[in-house]
Structure formats: C-alpha cells, structure tokens
Amino acid sequence: MRKLSYLFMVFSAMCFVVPAFAQGGAAAGSTNWVAITAGFSMAIASAVCGLAQAKATAAAAEGLARNPAARPGIQL
C-alpha cells in the first residue's frame, strides 16, 4: 500500500508539471526540458525493467536449486 501511495504522489506531481510546458516560450537560449525529462524517464524505466528481469531470473534459479526435478516447468 505504501508503494501505491508513493506511485500516486509521483503521478500527481507529474500532472502538475504539464501546465508548465503549456506556458509561453522563454528566450532564445532556454534549456530543452522536454528532452532532459524524457531522458530521465527512460533511464528510470530501464532501471526498473532491469531490476524486474533480475528478480525473475533469481526466482527461476532459486526454484531450480530447490527442486531440480522441476526443470521442464521452469523457463530461464
């Protein structure tokens, strides 16, 4: 439940950022925040994907170590 509330808070904070992009353009030398935030979001998504794949592989290896006869049912 704690993770869900944290996720909801992050999502609501992102929703409040959207109107900032709708405001008028700044001077000619402004920073391209859309590209920077897109890069950070891709980095976070890649990190979470890597952690999920590592956890799945660890669970499969642990299941195989506990019961070697279950090899045909465990996909590595």
User: Measured between alpha carbons, how far is residue 27 from residues 24, 30, 32, 37, 56 in Å?
Assistant: 10, 6, 12, 20, 48
pLDDT digits (tens, 9 = 90+) for 33-45: 898 999 999 999 9
Reported as a pLDDT band with limits 50, 70 and 90, residue 6 is: confident
Q: How many CB atoms lie within 10 A of CB 24?
A: 4
Cα–Cα distances in angstroms (integers) from residue 3 to residues 37, 45, 61, in the given order: 22, 16, 27
For the stretch 27-73, pLDDT in tens is 666 778 898 999 999 999 999 999 999 999 999 889 888 888 877 77
